[in-house]
Chains A and B, each alone.
Chain A
């Protein structure tokens, strides 16, 4: 056995465990602001992900234990679950999770080999295939008279017999959806923002969720689980792009703070765009990757066919990673002041 003979105490499991821990504040706020339905979604996604992971490892002839213990499947499951509408039907959750683990992760070669973020692939497949179900967002509790209990939420998710009136009372469009629909109906941003769903910066409840994800993200940054480059560049990409548009026509384009304080943005900035496997590796590459994802998010939100663009923006930037990495190789110790990009 050659040197070195000692190791730092870090491990993939430890990294993934911290990522999961950093999601807990977000989950807590989610329950507080939107009801306990998310817990059912999380549990279902987790079980599905672990089962799919175990089955795929067996099929590919890999030992199940070390790979299940690395917790990466649970991270994927949670990230997908937190991106889905909280009252999405069970088959939507299962389909998305299966696609993420089986296709996006294992068919690309498993842990460390996938070029796309699995959770975002799962999300993209669902929003393209089932756009209607993907808008079943629970309304913020602040805006509903009779919030669902955990059992009722589970009943909704598992397709139990829930009166449509009850369901209508507890679901509504997300703020981003409301903005998009409003703009399509030729309302100005100010008019749309006067709707009760909008809060101080983002949507009622949603802005608190965003803040909780931000808090978890900052913990990850403080622990050096994630670097500063990707989150900062991602947030800057959103803020600057949205700010630029808003500056030109505040009536047609949402304010930069509104774009920033969406849960999907904070989740994307700290938990998804920072996925090392599918992200850029060089310091400059990380800045380009993050900024590009932020820029594309606002572009897709503004001109694209979907209310939110974080998933597609990150997937598009995943595509660019090999190119970005190749042309942003840093100078090495003792290297020439300006290094040529290595040839392909």
Chain B
């Protein structure tokens, strides 16, 4: 702690509510009758199912394999029979169901064969594939596949490794309890990270509202054969955000639009380090995690929970109470409401927060923005939230992007302090998704246009080639005729004149027909007419565009 700490701008300090759940010991949640394991539990491509209905699976058996680089495997959390591979409700902000593997457990909890990995003996690339296949993903909330983050890439090594024990969100205590009780294993995981990343500096950031965790981690660090500095940082939300933790511990900022590894820093959550140690030293895939169940329950506490356990089972275990108004996954600042309580615990589930009207009174109605800039003072990304709000509300997404909309980390500080109670983050999410949709549409339109232009170009080219071929043929013919001295000189020209007369007559007749024949494009309603005009204009433009490559082709 001799090091100097830095500060991040903004932030808020909501009531912590940590004491409710961090005093009770960790309890293992009982094996449920049915596990529902989503194939998409991480950022990136969802896992591909490896089992089908009726298959018997063992605890720790891979049931979904990683699909591509940014992906991770999923595993059976216990032994049993696969009862379904179908769409099930999952804890996701969209509220849409997703592909899941359901397992009827047999109660035997029978492990698949698994053995420790000798991580020093394995080539780093092989080790990373093993970790991907063990399903490791960041447990701090973002669930980014850990194997990808453990690749130092072209730089060969990542000098600074930050272990994030900030846990700045109110109510959540799973990292706190993990550090108190499993500090040695966390640091064993850190040793593996250090090995893979070639880091020389290891900083563990813990907020000062967790004295027991700090003491346990310090004691464990003293036992390790490498130096890990346990750094106590002031408790201020969102100090546990990766960018803020980097800023507080190193004084450096992740450049906008870049990754922390671009400045030689990688950040992992303490829970991820622990899961990594279990995976490497015991060969256990990521099939369980600590989950805080707190809020409006009788016994708020942390549970060791198998992935796939339905949330209602945990709430019952913690003692459900009358007057529940809702359930959040995560904390009150960034958590998301659960559509129903059948949804399973996933790798990202750090907390199940049960709401009541007392703990979470309904938010007051929003008033207009008075530009007081309290949001700007609270913004840890140092944005001007009041301007972003104005642009998002007006649908001026271009300006919103100019004012760095995509640097918003959606921490919720602006909404928290807003005296007009405007759900600001909501407007930013809306603007972001609108921009993404538009970009997708634009990409699709661009592709269609390119294809169309190429088709036109090809048709033109084919026509030209055909004409050239014909011309060449005619030339050859003429040469042939010219070579034949007995052919009559006047006859062909006479025939040509006759042909021209016929053609002219035909054209006149056609023009007359077009004039008199009723056309379904006359007397249209103005809307349709405008549409047709627009289409014609677009066509003209496309023709124009299509001509360009041809012209440039002709240039030498």
- Using CB atoms, name the residue of chain B closest to A330: B382
Chain B residues whose C-beta falls within 8 Å of the C-beta of A112 in the assembled complex: 367-371, 420
A3 with B371: in contact, given A14-B419, A331-B382, A333-B243 (CB under 8 Å)? no
- Using CB atoms, name the residue of chain B closest to A344: B399
Kindly specify which of A5-13, A89-97, A231-239 makes contact with the partner chain.
A5-13
| B177 CB to nearest chain A CB (Å) | 22
A342 with B399: in contact, given A3-B334, A331-B382 (CB under 8 Å)? yes
A333 with B425: in contact, given A3-B334, A3-B335, A276-B373 (CB under 8 Å)? no
Say if the beta carbon of A332 comes within 8 Å of chain B. yes
- Contacting residue for A4 out of B93, B254, B333, B429, CB 8 A: B333
Say if the beta carbon of A305 comes within 8 Å of chain B. no
Say if the beta carbon of B374 comes within 8 Å of chain A. yes
10 smallest CB-CB distances across A and B, nearest first, come from A4-B412, A112-B368, A342-B402, A334-B256, A276-B372, A5-B332, A10-B419, A6-B332, A4-B333, A334-B253
Kindly specify which of B107-115, B149-157, B341-349, B358-366 makes contact with the partner chain.
B358-366
Total A-B pairs in contact (CB under 8 Å)?
140
- Using CB atoms, name the residue of chain B closest to A6: B332
Contact B384 A330 (CB under 8 A): yes
- Using CB atoms, name the residue of chain B closest to A109: B368
Q: 13 A-B pairs, CB-CB below 8 angstroms?
A: A2-B425, A3-B412, A6-B360, A7-B416, A11-B364, A11-B419, A112-B420, A281-B387, A329-B384, A333-B382, A334-B243, A334-B257, A335-B404
A334 with B254: in contact, given A7-B421, A281-B376, A281-B387 (CB under 8 Å)? yes
**Residues of chain A from 295 to 341 with CB closer than 8 A to chain B in the complex:** 325, 329-336
Say if the beta carbon of B415 comes within 8 Å of chain A. yes
| A282 CB to nearest chain B CB (Å) | 7
| B432 CB to nearest chain A CB (Å) | 13
- Contacting residue for A276 out of B243, B371, B381, CB 8 A: B371
How many B residues are at the interface, by size bracket? Answer: 35 or more
Chain B residues whose C-beta falls within 8 Å of the C-beta of A61 in the assembled complex: none
A332 with B12: in contact, given A2-B336, A15-B372 (CB under 8 Å)? no
Say if the beta carbon of B64 comes within 8 Å of chain A. no
The distance in angstroms between the C-alpha atoms of A333 and B336, with both chains bound, is: 26
Say if the beta carbon of A25 comes within 8 Å of chain B. no
Contact A11 B421 (CB under 8 A): yes
Say if the beta carbon of B26 comes within 8 Å of chain A. no
Contact A6 B421 (CB under 8 A): no
Beyond A5-B333, A5-B360, A332-B404, list 8 extra A-B contacts (CB 8 Å): A3-B330, A5-B363, A6-B360, A7-B416, A7-B421, A112-B420, A333-B8, A343-B402
The distance in angstroms between the C-alpha atoms of A123 and B24, with both chains bound, is: 64
The distance in angstroms between the C-alpha atoms of A277 and B355, with both chains bound, is: 35
Chain B residues whose C-beta falls within 8 Å of the C-beta of A331 in the assembled complex: 382
The distance in angstroms between the C-alpha atoms of A34 and B15, with both chains bound, is: 47
- Using CB atoms, name the residue of chain B closest to A111: B368
Contact B12 A8 (CB under 8 A): yes
Chain A residues whose C-beta falls within 8 Å of the C-beta of B387 in the assembled complex: 281, 325
Say if the beta carbon of B337 comes within 8 Å of chain A. yes
The distance in angstroms between the C-alpha atoms of A67 and B247, with both chains bound, is: 41
Say if the beta carbon of B403 comes within 8 Å of chain A. yes
| A10 CB to nearest chain B CB (Å) | 4
Say if the beta carbon of A113 comes within 8 Å of chain B. yes
B396-433 CB mask vs A (1 if < 8 Å, else 0) is 00010011100100101001111111010110010000
Contact A335 B256 (CB under 8 A): yes
**Residues of chain A from 100 to 130 with CB closer than 8 A to chain B in the complex:** 110-113
B positions within 8 Å CB-CB of A: 8-9, 12, 14-15, 93, 170, 243, 247, 253-258, 328, 330, 332-337, 355, 360, 363-365, 367-374, 376, 380-384, 386-387, 399, 402-404, 407, 410, 412, 415-421, 423, 425-426, 429
- Contacting residue for B381 out of A6, A8, A72, A333, CB 8 A: A333
- Using CB atoms, name the residue of chain B closest to A110: B368
Contact B404 A281 (CB under 8 A): no
Contact B333 A2 (CB under 8 A): no
| A344 CB to nearest chain B CB (Å) | 9
A281 with B386: in contact, given A11-B421, A333-B9, A335-B256 (CB under 8 Å)? yes
- Using CB atoms, name the residue of chain A closest to B375: A281
Contact A7 B415 (CB under 8 A): yes
Contact B364 A3 (CB under 8 A): no
A7 with B384: in contact, given A12-B370, A334-B253, A334-B255 (CB under 8 Å)? no
Residue with the greatest number of chain B CB neighbours at <10 A, chosen from A8, A66, A333: A333
Chain A residues whose C-beta falls within 8 Å of the C-beta of B256 in the assembled complex: 332-336
A70 with B367: in contact, given A6-B14, A11-B419, A330-B382 (CB under 8 Å)? yes
The distance in angstroms between the C-alpha atoms of A3 and B383, with both chains bound, is: 19
Contact A111 B370 (CB under 8 A): yes
A66 with B365: in contact, given A7-B421, A12-B420 (CB under 8 Å)? yes
| B350 CB to nearest chain A CB (Å) | 14
Chain B residues whose C-beta falls within 8 Å of the C-beta of A11 in the assembled complex: 364, 419-421
Say if the beta carbon of A1 comes within 8 Å of chain B. yes
A4 with B416: in contact, given A12-B367, A111-B370 (CB under 8 Å)? yes
- Using CB atoms, name the residue of chain A closest to B386: A281
The distance in angstroms between the C-alpha atoms of A279 and B372, with both chains bound, is: 9
Contact A276 B384 (CB under 8 A): no
Chain A residues whose C-beta falls within 8 Å of the C-beta of B384 in the assembled complex: 281-282, 329-330
The distance in angstroms between the C-alpha atoms of A6 and B419, with both chains bound, is: 13
Contact B334 A281 (CB under 8 A): no
| B543 CB to nearest chain A CB (Å) | 33
- Using CB atoms, name the residue of chain B closest to A2: B426
The distance in angstroms between the C-alpha atoms of A40 and B403, with both chains bound, is: 48
- Using CB atoms, name the residue of chain B closest to A274: B372
Chain A residues whose C-beta falls within 8 Å of the C-beta of B254 in the assembled complex: 334
The distance in angstroms between the C-alpha atoms of A334 and B454, with both chains bound, is: 42
- Using CB atoms, name the residue of chain A closest to B409: A333
The distance in angstroms between the C-alpha atoms of A30 and B257, with both chains bound, is: 56
| A121 CB to nearest chain B CB (Å) | 17
A4 with B370: in contact, given A10-B419, A330-B382, A334-B258 (CB under 8 Å)? no
**Residues of chain A from 171 to 209 with CB closer than 8 A to chain B in the complex:** none
Contact B370 A277 (CB under 8 A): yes
A333 with B380: in contact, given A2-B423, A11-B421, A342-B399 (CB under 8 Å)? yes
The distance in angstroms between the C-alpha atoms of A276 and B333, with both chains bound, is: 26
- Contacting residue for B416 out of A8, A12, A15, A66, CB 8 A: A8
| B391 CB to nearest chain A CB (Å) | 10
A332 with B383: in contact, given A4-B333, A5-B335 (CB under 8 Å)? yes
- Using CB atoms, name the residue of chain A closest to B15: A6
Contact A4 B255 (CB under 8 A): no
| B261 CB to nearest chain A CB (Å) | 14
Chain A residues whose C-beta falls within 8 Å of the C-beta of B328 in the assembled complex: 3, 5
**Residues of chain A from 233 to 264 with CB closer than 8 A to chain B in the complex:** none
| B342 CB to nearest chain A CB (Å) | 20
Contact A4 B425 (CB under 8 A): yes
The distance in angstroms between the C-alpha atoms of A113 and B368, with both chains bound, is: 8
- Contacting residue for B363 out of A7, A111, A330, CB 8 A: A7
Residue with the greatest number of chain B CB neighbours at <10 A, chosen from A2, A5, A8, A277: A5
- Contacting residue for A3 out of B14, B243, B336, B370, CB 8 A: B336
A3 with B420: in contact, given A10-B374, A333-B243, A342-B402 (CB under 8 Å)? no
Chain B residues whose C-beta falls within 8 Å of the C-beta of A67 in the assembled complex: 367
Chain B residues whose C-beta falls within 8 Å of the C-beta of A2 in the assembled complex: 93, 336-337, 423, 425-426, 429
The distance in angstroms between the C-alpha atoms of A14 and B419, with both chains bound, is: 8
The distance in angstroms between the C-alpha atoms of A67 and B423, with both chains bound, is: 18
- Using CB atoms, name the residue of chain A closest to B373: A281
